[in-house]
A and B are shown apart, each in its own frame.
Chain A
Amino acid sequence: MSWFDDWALTLAVFLPVVGMVILLLIPRAEEGAQKLVALLTTLVTFAVGIGILFRFDYNRAGRLQFGVDKSWIDVINSRYHMGIDGISLPLLILSMFITVLCVIYSWNHFPEPHNPKAFLALILLLEVGMNGTFAAQDLILFFVFFEIVLLPMFFMIGVWGGPNREYASIKFFLFTLFGSALMLLSFLALYFLSDVHTFSIPALSALHGSGIVEGTQTLVFAGMFLGFAIKVPMFPFHTWLPDAHTEAPTVGSVLLAAIMLKLGTYGFIRIALPLLPKGAINWAPWIGGLAVIGIIYGAFCCLAQTDMKRLIAFSSVAHMGFVMLGIATLTDFGINAAIFGMVAHGLITGMLFFVAGSVQHNFHTREIKRLGGLLVQAPKMGWILGFCVMASLGLPGLAGFWGEFPAILSAFQPAPGLSDVVFRVYMVIAAIGTVLAAGYLLWMLQRVAFGTPKSEFEDADIHDVGLAEWIAWTPMLLGIVILGVYPNLLFSLTNPAVEHVSRVFAR
């Protein structure tokens, strides 16, 4: 099986490309074949993921495994360097997993203007970018994959989106592109400032930014911060998110919420913190502050929403605030919580967007005011919505809690060098955020699911959860429960790898 160890990541990243090429060769009329090819591709990719899960050495989760290190662009000493450890593994698997489910969900939910061929090809391309980002261990490689993701999402929103799609897609593109430009600048700065002139992430993180003075670190970190924070998105760079989510097709929203937002937080953990520890310490209080502002602010904005999808989108801002708070503590505790929060948010918010998409599919509206009595007309969907709402507001026993509570907990005692008092204030504010979260989510649940159907939809032809939806949703729902009941599945995996990251900050 040693060939598998060598090739697993390459396969995981580039199999979707193969599928995409095959997909593009199929004539446009044969939609069945197109769907089948897309499904098979994602399934085979996911199978590779399963293989990785089996072959992964959990006793050495802190080290890079499945490493590939081949020469790529010699001139700038950038290499085709991939590898995964306990931090990337869950996210990589999540990405493969969600993509499969998205393809299944798409089976009979293609948004206008239909064209499954292009749509599925874009999903596959998106998967390349996402998997690649989580596997890349070279800054340039990372950047390339990071940017690949933009393109399919841009088209997905711009072509298959809602009425305001052009505005949303361009806003999304410009925001993220602006961030990545500064990020690339920071990468280049790192290359030239470090003594070894390399883009290798492991090599650079082994240096811990030694040789770069504190002021420079702070500056370079600022560039990365912008790049990643826009992707996360953190307050006040979040305004692209509600528009993008509102306009994006269901699958686009799911992928956006479940995976793409994690690219930013992942970037913080993988690149920004280990490469520039001093910069991180200088920035951490500000990041934490923006994070808690995001929590409260996102919650307030949620309360003011009339559109279901927009509400969920703003709730992402709040939830990613918890993740960022965990990261900002710079402790292993907080970062573990953050990774858990990322995975949990991926599953839960992904599910919420799925349900919102199906609601829109049935009612042709997302106006909360016009909805009501979902439990009467589509009881299963209503229950699933209730379940997701409960998971999202951080009910213990479901996945959301384990991202939220430990993040709050970690803020009590941030890494040495950070002010205890400041972070304890953050802790209290974040705790208040949990109540607001319960408020807006239950408020939405009440108005969408409870009560009786409004008169305009009394005779509407409403389909409850169908087969494709069941197949796509059940694994996610199970995932939410399993991670909620036994969180150690994830914590034990991420912990060794996170300790590598946080060791620099420990006393």
Chain B
Amino acid sequence: MLDAAWIIPLIPALSFVAILFFGKKMPRQGSEIGIVAIATTFVLSCVAAVQWIQRVNRYEGSHQGLGALGKSLMLSTQEHGAVVKPVVHSITWWQNGAFKFGIGIQIDGLAVMMLFVVTLISLLVHIYSTAYMKGDIRFTYFYAALSLFTASMLILVVAPNTLQLLVGWELVGLCSFMLIGHWWEEGANTNAALKAFLTTRTGDIGLMIGVIITFFAAGTFNIVGINQYALSPGADHTLMVVGASCLLIGIIGKSGQFPLHTWLPDAMAGPTPVSALIHAATMVVAGVYLGARVYGVFWSGFNIGDGGMNPMAVIGAITILIGAALAFVQDDIKKVLAYSTVSQLGYMVMGLGVGSWVGAVFHLFTHAFFKALLFLGAGSVSHSGSHHSFDMKKDMGGLRKYMPITFWTFLIGSAALAGIAPLAGFWSKDEILATAGQGGFELFAIVGLVGAFLTAAYMTRCVYLTFFGEYRGHGQPHESPKAITVPLIVLAVFSVFAGLANAAPLGLEKFGEYVEPKFAFPPVIVPTFDYGLAGASLFIVLSAIGVGVFLWFREEEMHAFKGLTKRNVLARGGYALLVNKYYLDDLYEGVIVAGIKGPIARASYWINQNVIDAVVKGAGLAARAIAGGTYTLDQDVLDAGYDGLARETGASGGLLSRVQTGRLQWYALVSFAAIGVFSLALVIFR
């Protein structure tokens, strides 16, 4: 399967074509084609994953001792034969001048992991959508687009060279455009789709130039080659810095990093399953995946091994705080989740920036499950609980009684996101923070902890507003059908246990072992598990939940709140803090919360809407203004110039037209005179 992995992206691509042409004629309008195709790809991806693990094991069996070291040893020439190489197959796609460009596959741990995640999430989304999108006017088209979306992402994942990666990248952008604008009758949706496409495309300038620069620096598009070049001592450092910066711009655009994150919340205009797919497995993680793929360039360009500061880590850190702060003031449940994604992507990018490759990729892995779970849960709420609304304050509340499965899975997802041990989010976040702390990036570890606090707090608020209190909507809330709840349960299981793939204190470090490339890979440090840090982080999270419970639950009548603390794990955790509410009240309410909930959050939201977004909008408006100006220039100056020329010609023509008596003989006279003169000239100047 590893050698034939090209089938994996091919199947959804064919499914796209099949649904497009035959979907309408199928009994279930094409959804069955999509589901069967994705299920097949999922199975194939699992097979590939197993085979990769076997490959690594086989290798380690034959190189006892070396294999264990391989991860932590520097890549050097002597060891070339002693590391597991990725499976790379490539055929010539096109040739231009002396350059050949391939298309093919590069399968290694990272790719296999991504294949698994993408196909799993996509499969669940496909199943979920049969119920969620039932009766939609463009049901068939929706499934076609989902297939294409998955295919594009898989093309990107298996890409052996940056060019194919770019192709997949752009196709992913196209599909998100199509899906965000799925209900294109409404202007707001198409605006969001346009914004998403244009913002990411702005980032693509960076990617495009970065690809070009790395190509000319390394002389190849091959990812392995680029990484090898970047890590070789002879690499041109200037080119690497510029290249890494450009690629970073690409990541910023695609993965919703500050300051290009504004499209992500707007992208909520698409159907909820699409949001889940975009935020968990495809679109936005493409950026992080790119960072992980050509990590050598970043490592070498930003000197990540030296610690301190670098643009990548800074951008990630800023994004963590910005995203988390913004999540507080949203009333739309999907927007809370969207900002939460922004913030979590910040963790991943920061993780890459601080040298925590494994942590970042691991966080990508775990985040995919719980964020998909949360989005699908929100979709379930809106589908069955709140009459297709996403407004937490107006149309939700108290839903835990009506939708128990949705409630419990959502709660698990929130806890995983908040980072409560031993759920998935805890392990991956901790890995990033530990690496940051031990790799010379202490400041960023602190930022990560602050982010964790905020995350826990806003998720508490979100859960409270949605599921607790009184039902404020107008429909008859009920539990969602099986097609919706089953994916939720599956994802919940993954959210609980996925973290164990790399839980150091439990002796489980399989994730790093199988996923981390050994070939052409920088010497990242492997952090030792820091119980102090983990404990601190856990404490922070729990206290944040406590604060959250205190703040939001308290606003309701006391009996609801008191009853809750008896029954609810989360609330009970915060109960200890609530006892001391009198002397903490001023501190929390007056300083931190008022600060965060009030000025800071509002200010950043204001800045987001009025400055950053305004910059985007302003750029658009300015472009329009410039365009108007340019057009005026074009019409009034350039064109007028030409017209004026023509007029002058006409005027001189008028002068000359007096010569045109219209009489034949006059013309003949002139002609003969001219002939005489020319002949004379010929005689003289012969």
**When chains A and B are docked, how far (Å) is the Cα of A502 from the Cα of B642?**
36
Q: Which among B177, B202, B209, B630 is the interface contact of A435 at CB below 8 angstroms? A: B202
- Pick the contact of B97: A171, A174, A499 (CB < 8 A): A499
With both chains docked as a complex, state the minimum distance between the C-beta of A31 and any C-beta of chain B, in angstroms.
36
B120 to chain A, nearest CB (A): 25
Selecting from B76-84, B87-95, B415-423, B582-590, the interface stretch reads B87-95
Interface residue B171 (Cβ < 8 Å from any Cβ of A): yes
Interface status of A446 (Cβ within 8 A of chain B): yes
Q: Is the CB of A297 within 8 A of B630?
A: yes
Residue numbers in B under 8 Å from A436 (CB-CB): 623
A337 touches B96 (CB 8 A): yes
A419 interfacial contact with B, CB 8 Å: no
CB of A95 closer than 8 Å to a CB of B:
no
User: Within the assembled complex, what's the spacing in Å between the Cα atoms of A452 and B311?
Assistant: 45
- Choose, from A47-55, A118-126, A485-493, the stretch at the interface: A485-493
* A409 contacts B212, C-beta separation under 8 Å: yes
A413 in contact with B216 given A304-B630, A439-B623, A452-B185 (CB within 8 Å) = yes
Which residues of chain A are within 8 angstroms of B204 by Cβ–Cβ distance? 434-435
If A303-B623, A396-B171, A450-B190 touch, whether A239 touches B216 (CB-CB below 8 Å) is no
Do A450 and B184 touch (CB < 8 A)?
Answer: yes
Which of B193-201, B328-336, B455-463, B514-522 lies at the binding interface?
Answer: B193-201
Tell whether A375 is near chain B: CB-to-CB under 8 Å. Answer: yes
B93-121 at interface with A (beta carbon < 8 Å) = 93-99
Give chain B nearest CB distance to A410 CB in angstroms.
Answer: 9
Query: Do the beta carbons of B208 and A239 come within 8 Å of each other?
Result: no
Q: Tell me whether B198 and A435 are in contact (CB under 8 A).
A: yes
Confirm or deny: B627 has a beta carbon within 8 angstroms of a beta carbon on chain A: yes
What separation, in Å, do the CA atoms of A144 and B201 have in the docked complex? 44
| Inter-chain contacts of A498 with B (CB < 8 A) | 97
Is B181 within 8 A of A450, CB to CB? yes
Residue in B92, B194, B623, B634 whose CB lies within 8 Å of A239:
B634
Closest A residue, CB atoms, query B215? A409
Q: Which residues of B contact A449 (CB under 8 A)?
A: 184
For the complex, count residues of A whose C-beta is within 8 A of B: 57
B638 touches A236 (CB 8 A): yes
CB distance A397 to B167 under 8 Å?
yes
CB closest residue in chain A, given B93:
A488
Contact indicator A239/B95 (Cβ below 8 Å): no
Are B198 and A491 in touch, CB under 8 angstroms? no
Q: Is there a chain A Cβ closer than 8 Å to B73's Cβ? A: no
- Closest chain-B Cβ to A98's Cβ sits at a distance in Å of 23
Assembly CA distance A29 to B77 (angstroms): 83
Within the complex, what minimum Cβ distance (angstroms) separates B100 from chain A? 10
Interface contact A488-B94, CB-CB below 8 Å: yes
Q: How far is the CA of A303 from the CA of B626 in the complex (A)?
A: 9
* Contact between B198 and A375, CB atoms less than 8 A apart: no
Which residue in chain B gives the minimum CB-CB distance to A310?
B631
Contacts of A427 in B (CB 8 A): 209, 212
Name A374-412 residues within 8 Å CB distance of B.
375-376, 390, 395-397, 401-402, 405-406, 408-409, 412
Interface residues of A in 197-214 (CB under 8 A from B): none
State A488–B197 Cα separation when bound (angstroms): 28
**Contact between chains at B184 and A375 (CB < 8 Å):** yes
Complex contact A438–B205 (CB within 8 A)? no
Q: Does A331 contact B (CB under 8 A)?
A: yes
A430 to B116, CA, bound (A): 37
- Bound-complex Cα distance A336 to B630 (A): 31
In the docked arrangement, what's the CA distance between A196 and B184, Å?
Answer: 65
Contact A446 B194 (CB under 8 A): yes
Least CB separation from B649: chain A residue? A174
**Minimal Cβ-Cβ distance residue in B for A409:** B212
Partner of B190, one of A376, A439, A451, A486: A451
* CB pair B209 A488 closer than 8 Å: no
Q: Which chain A residues numbered 86 to 124 have a C-beta less than 8 Å away from chain B?
A: none
Chain B residues with CB under 8 Å of chain A are 92-99, 166-167, 170-171, 174, 177, 181, 184-187, 190-191, 194, 197-198, 201-202, 204-205, 208-209, 212-213, 215-216, 620, 623-624, 626-628, 630-631, 634, 638-639, 642, 646
- List the 4 shortest-distance A-B pairs measured between CB atoms, nearest first: A303-B627, A396-B167, A304-B631, A332-B97
Q: Can you report 10 residue pairs joining A to B where beta carbons are below 8 Å apart?
A: A300-B627, A304-B628, A332-B96, A333-B97, A435-B204, A439-B198, A442-B194, A488-B94, A491-B95, A491-B96
